[in-house]
Structure formats: structure tokens, C-alpha cells
């Protein structure tokens, strides 16, 4: 029997960075790595098969890379008959078997996972050290300091603070281009002619390790949603770097102008496809931000596109993580609007007459991917207007997207999309009629519903539910300065129109709940 390791270094499925803090001072001659694939992580929500495959393939590639570097890796595979099924049970068994002198790990990204690991370690009585996750540009302590004493948390102030601190898109003490954001330049749609010929993103055909994982997932999770035959996500740092270079060269220049646009049958458009690689720690966000800024300074991409992209990373990504850790664990159960409608079954099948939802859901179930406007202003908007229970919406988003990890998905869903936190994350509900979707896409051209109509057989359900949403929450929304104009528009509806909208909305809810 080999000697017990000096340190057992825990590596979770979204911590695939060999330079993480857990490895500081580590020595492969004295220390060892522990990793485990467990069914519980795939089953706690009904996970998309591509999401499961991405995590497992990336984990196996990381373990193989560390073994080639001389590390002893204690790795429990999902199909090992001895697999106990949960991270906690697997860790407890490993501690009994390996008897390390102490355990070291980078702080987990998910509340429940952290609690599970801490419970096992405390019960085992083994010394352990939890180290900060320096992948992020704002630590949990720094976000707490930013939030202290503020009545409201808002992305804009936080984003400017991080831009200044990290000297990103700054010229002296002023923002490059003389403005902190260029949102007004980044709201374009494609018009009737569509996007034209689009640069296809670089593909990453599965290698032997990934093919083995795909076969395992197909067998073990046959009843789970989603396809996996189109799987081509980056699963190694080298793949992720190649994906970054492809985006910077071929899609970043037009990303900003069309970042909110949608088009039938075109899932990628000018988006980066980097979020999953970032969330698994295959890419360092500093390198991504630096590459984008360098493209602007070299004249290869316009400033509005670069600023819009960097805002998503340095702004929103860091901000939602701060929100998550500041308000968990209770944040997950917030329901400020009292929404209790069940999630429509078509979210799991894509079978709906509403073309916009059919497009976004079909793409999601096929690829495990939709860009941020498809998530916020199609699938998320419909759930908000319908009044779906926020936790059900959260669990669906966590299940179906390959880039979904709870620290980033939960605040985006409950806070930004569903306004279930009452305004902690965002200053207003993102509520709109079907006309927004018509303006930003060609989805309505292939739909039997008319976004200009709120009642009648051809009325767009988004438009019907929008007016009913304002009616149901009129008192609350009237007090919100950013919603007051929308609420005042209710006065333009006659009493008969209001009754007709209410009746049609009630009938729609009853039909979708059946």
C-alpha cells in the first residue's frame, strides 16, 4: 500500500484549471488529486445529455492531462460498480481509503456542493483548507465590500468599478472612447434580408475520450432530454483557446451590432460559444478580455462590439456571482411576484404553435444552447408573463444549457428573467409584447399569431399575457419609475378590452396547466 498523500486536492467538474489556488505549493511526489463523476449531479435536475457529456468529457481530459504531468489522480468513473452516486459519499470513501494528512480545495461554485463537502470533511475530522477561487476578477470578499451600505445593487456601478480597478478599456482615468457603455450601438436587427452568409464557428469533433463519454451518456441517461449527436464543444484548454481565437477573428467585429438579434435556423450568429469553457475553467476570463481589447486597439474590431462583449464578462458574469453568494441559500426560493403556474410541458419538447418558442426550444433541446436574448426575451419572457413558479424556471434553465452552473444561472433566471427577487438583480421586469420579438427576429413571419393583437384567435400569446401581466401587477409596477410608462398605457384599454384580455389570459393559463 502506498503512503498516504500529504495533501488530497479536490477538483470539481467546474474547476478544471491546473493553476487554481488548490494547487499552490502542491507536489505530485507527495500530494494527489481526487475527482469523481456522480449520478446525483446529473439527476438533481433533469439534465440535458449534452450538458452531462460536456462535464464528463472535460473532467476526463483534465484527469488524463494531470496524469501525463506526473500526478497521481484518484478518479471515480460514473460506470464504476463501486460508485456511491454522490460527491459526499465518494469523498467520504476516498478519505477512508487514502487517509490523507489534509485536504485542500478551491472554493466550490455552488452552495449545495460546498455544504456537502464541508459536512463530509468535518465529520471525518481531517484538517482541510478552502482557498479563494482566483479565476474570478472580483472575490466574494470584494463584492461584499462593494455591496456594504448600498440600498441597491446595480450592475453599472459595479462594472465601472471593475473596469477602473483592472484597467480594462481605460485611457488614463477615463473610459476608452469617452463612454462606459455603447448599448445604443448594440441593438441592431438583421432586417428582412436576414444575416446573409455567416462565419461558421470552429467545430471540435469528439475524440476517443469524448466518444466514450457520449456512448456512456446515451446508455445511462437515455430518458434525459436533449440530443448529443451534434456535440462539438471544446473540452480542453487547447480547444477553448482555439475557440477564442476563432471568435475574436471571425465574429467579434459584428458581435456588438447584432448581439440581441435572432434568426430562424441560425443558433450561433456572431456569438462566442465560450461561456461553457469559461464556466468549466478551461479559459481564464482575463485572457478573453485581453484578447478582445487587443483586437480593438489593433483596429480589428469596433469599440462598441468589444465593450459589449467585455461587459458580459467583466460586468454581468462577475456581478451575478456576487449576487449568488451574497443572498444564498434563501435566494433560490424567492418569488416576489407570487408566480405559481406550472412550467408548460412544451418546454421539454419544443412542441408549440408559437414559432419563436418553437425555434428557441428546438435549438435548446438539440444543442443545449441559446444565446442571451433567446433565453431572456423568448423562453424567459414567456415564463414571466405566464406567471410560472420561478424555481421551476430555474431548474429548467439549469438542466438544459451546457454552460449552466448554478452560481451564474440562478441569478440570471430568478433575478433578471423572472424578477422573482423583487429588484435585487435588475431594476425592472423585462416585460414586452410579441412586437419586441418581431422587431429583433424573423420568427413572427413563420407564425400563425399576430403580435399586434392581444385578443381573438390570432392574438399573440406574448401580447395577451403582457397586458395581463401589467394588469395583475399594476400596483407594484406603478411604483417602479422604469415601468411607469408601460403601466400608464393600461389606461388606453377600455374596460371591455381589459376584461377580454383577462379572460383570454386565464384560458391560456388553464390550457397550458392541463
Separation between Cα atoms, residue 447 and residue 434, nearest integer Å: 11
Nearest to 420 by CA among 361, 347, 333: 333
Separation between Cα atoms, residue 322 and residue 137, nearest integer Å: 11
* Residue 73: its H or E element: strand 73-76
248 backbone φψ class: left, alpha, beta (φ>0; ψ -120 to 50): alpha
Nearest to 132 by CA among 120, 144, 116, 122: 144
Nearest to 28 by CA among 65, 79, 80, 57: 65
Please give the pLDDT value at position 50. 98
Please give the pLDDT value at position 2. 76
pLDDT per position as a tens digit, 302-351:
999 999 999 999 999 999 999 999 999 999 999 999 999 999 999 999 99
What DSSP character marks residue 314?
A: I
Separation between Cα atoms, residue 267 and residue 25, nearest integer Å: 43
- Average pLDDT in the 250-276 region? 97
**C-alpha cell belonging to residue 249:** 477573428
- Which residues are paired to 102 by β-bridges? 7
Please give the pLDDT value at position 384. 98
Indicate if the pLDDT at residue 184 is higher than 90.
no
Indicate if the pLDDT at residue 511 is higher than 70.
yes
pLDDT per position as a tens digit, 360-417:
999 999 999 999 999 999 999 999 999 999 999 999 999 999 999 999 999 999 999 9
Indicate if the pLDDT at residue 436 is higher than 90.
yes
pLDDT band, residue 185 (cuts 50/70/90): confident
Please give the pLDDT value at position 236. 98
- Average pLDDT in the 40-49 region? 97
Domains of the chain, earliest start first: 7-131 (3.40.50.620), 140-327 (1.25.40.80), 329-424 (1.10.579.10), 449-513 (1.10.10.1710)
- Average pLDDT in the 287-293 region? 98
| Average pLDDT over the chain, rounded to an integer | 97
Task: Tell me if the pTM is above 0.95.
Answer: yes
- Average pLDDT in the 270-279 region? 98
Separation between Cα atoms, residue 54 and residue 214, nearest integer Å: 9
pLDDT per position as a tens digit, 401-420:
999 999 999 999 999 999 99
Are 258 and 270 spatial neighbours (Cβ–Cβ below 8 Å)?
Answer: yes
Integer Rg of the chain from CA: 24
Helix, strand, coil in percent for the chain, rounding step 5: 55, 5, 40
Indicate if the pLDDT at residue 1 is higher than 60.
no
pLDDT band, residue 514 (cuts 50/70/90): confident
pLDDT band, residue 249 (cuts 50/70/90): very high
DSSP 114-128: HHHHHHHHHHHT--E
Helices (DSSP H) in 72-184: which residue ranges? 87-98, 111-124, 140-147, 155-166
Please give the pLDDT value at position 228. 84
Chain centre distance of CA 129: 28
Are 182 and 256 spatial neighbours (Cβ–Cβ below 8 Å)?
Answer: yes
Q: Range with the lowest mean pLDDT among 185-199, 278-292, 385-399?
A: 185-199
Q: Range with the lowest mean pLDDT among 31-40, 97-106, 187-196, 397-406?
A: 187-196
Nearest to 229 by CA among 214, 208, 209, 248: 214
Q: For residue 334, which phi and psi values (nearest 5 degrees)?
A: -70, 145
pLDDT per position as a tens digit, 210-226:
999 999 999 999 999 99
pLDDT band, residue 446 (cuts 50/70/90): confident
Indicate if the pLDDT at residue 455 is higher than 70.
yes
Amino acid at each position: 500500500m502506498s503512503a498516504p498523500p500529504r495533501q488530497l486536492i479536490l477538483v470539481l467538474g467546474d474547476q478544471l484549471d491546473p493553476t487554481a489556488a488548490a494547487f499552490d505549493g502542491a507536489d505530485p511526489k507527495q500530494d494527489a488529486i481526487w475527482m469523481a463523476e456522480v449520478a446525483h449531479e446529473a439527476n438533481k435536475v433533469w439534465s440535458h445529455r449534452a450538458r452531462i457529456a460536456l462535464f464528463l468529457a472535460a473532467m476526463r481530459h483534465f484527469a488524463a492531462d494531470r496524469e501525463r504531468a506526473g500526478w497521481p489522480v484518484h478518479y471515480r468513473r460514473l460506470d464504476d460498480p463501486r460508485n456511491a452516486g454522490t460527491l459526499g459519499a465518494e469523498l467520504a470513501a476516498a478519505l477512508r481509503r487514502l487517509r490523507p494528512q489534509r485536504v485542500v480545495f478551491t472554493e466550490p461554485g455552488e452552495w449545495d456542493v460546498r455544504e456537502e463537502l464541508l459536512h463530509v470533511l468535518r465529520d471525518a475530522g481531517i484538517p482541510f483548507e478552502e482557498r479563494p477561487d482566483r479565476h474570478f476578477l472580483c472575490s466574494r470578499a470584494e463584492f461584499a465590500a462593494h455591496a456594504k451600505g448600498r440600498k441597491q445593487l446595480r450592475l453599472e456601478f459595479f462594472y465601472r468599478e471593475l473596469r477602473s480597478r483592472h484597467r480594462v478599456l481605460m485611457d488614463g482615468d477615463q473610459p476608452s472612447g469617452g463612454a462606459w457603455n455603447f448599448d445604443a450601438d448594440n441593438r441592431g436587427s438583421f432586417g428582412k434580408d436576414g444575416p446573409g452568409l455567416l462565419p461558421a464557428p470552429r467545430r471540435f469533433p469528439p475524440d476517443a475520450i469524448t466518444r466514450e463519454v457520449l456512448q456512456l451518456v446515451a446508455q445511462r441517461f437515455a430518458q434525459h432530454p436533449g440530443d448529443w449527436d451534434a456535440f462539438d464543444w471544446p473540452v480542453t484548454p487547447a480547444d477553448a483557446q482555439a475557440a477564442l481565437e476563432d471568435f475574436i477573428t471571425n465574429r467579434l467585429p459584428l458581435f456588438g451590432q447584432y448581439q440581441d438579434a435572432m434568426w430562424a435556423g441560425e443558433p450561433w450568429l456572431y456569438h462566442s460559444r465560450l461561456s461553457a469553457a469559461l464556466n468549466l475553467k478551461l479559459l481564464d476570463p482575463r485572457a478573453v478580455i485581453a484578447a478582445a481589447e487587443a483586437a480593438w486597439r489593433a483596429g480589428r474590431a469596433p469599440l462598441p462590439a468589444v465593450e459589449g462583449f467585455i461587459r458580459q464578462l467583466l460586468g454581468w458574469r462577475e456581478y451575478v456571482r456576487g449576487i449568488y453568494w451574497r443572498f444564498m441559500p434563501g435566494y433560490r426560493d424567492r418569488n416576489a411576484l407570487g408566480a405559481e403556474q406550472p412550467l408548460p410541458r412544451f418546454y421539454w419538447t419544443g412542441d408549440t404553435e408559437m414559432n419563436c418558442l418553437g425555434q428557441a426550444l428546438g435549438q435548446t433541446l438539440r444543442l443545449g444552447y441559446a444565446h442571451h436574448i433567446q433565453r431572456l426575451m423568448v423562453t424567459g419572457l414567456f415564463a414571466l408573463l405566464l406567471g410560472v413558479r420561478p424555481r421551476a424556471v430555474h431548474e429548467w434553465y439549469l438542466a438544459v444549457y451546457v454552460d449552466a452552473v448554478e452560481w451564474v444561472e440562478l441569478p440570471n433566471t430568478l433575478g433578471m428573467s423572472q424578477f422573482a427577487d423583487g429588484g435585487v438583480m435588475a431594476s425592472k421586469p423585462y416585460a414586452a409584447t410579441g412586437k419586441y420579438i418581431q422587431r429583433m427576429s424573423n420568427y413572427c413571419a413563420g407564425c400563425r399569431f399576430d403580435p399586434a393583437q392581444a385578443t381573438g384567435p390570432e392574438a399573440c400569446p406574448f401580447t395577451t399575457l403582457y397586458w395581463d401581466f401589467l394588469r395583475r401587477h399594476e400596483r407594484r409596477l406603478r411604483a417602479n419609475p422604469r415601468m411607469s410608462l408601460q403601466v400608464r398605457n393600461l389606461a388606453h384599454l377600455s374596460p371591455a378590452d381589459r376584461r377580454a384580455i383577462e379572460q383570454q389570459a386565464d384560458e391560456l393559463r388553464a390550457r397550458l396547466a392541463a
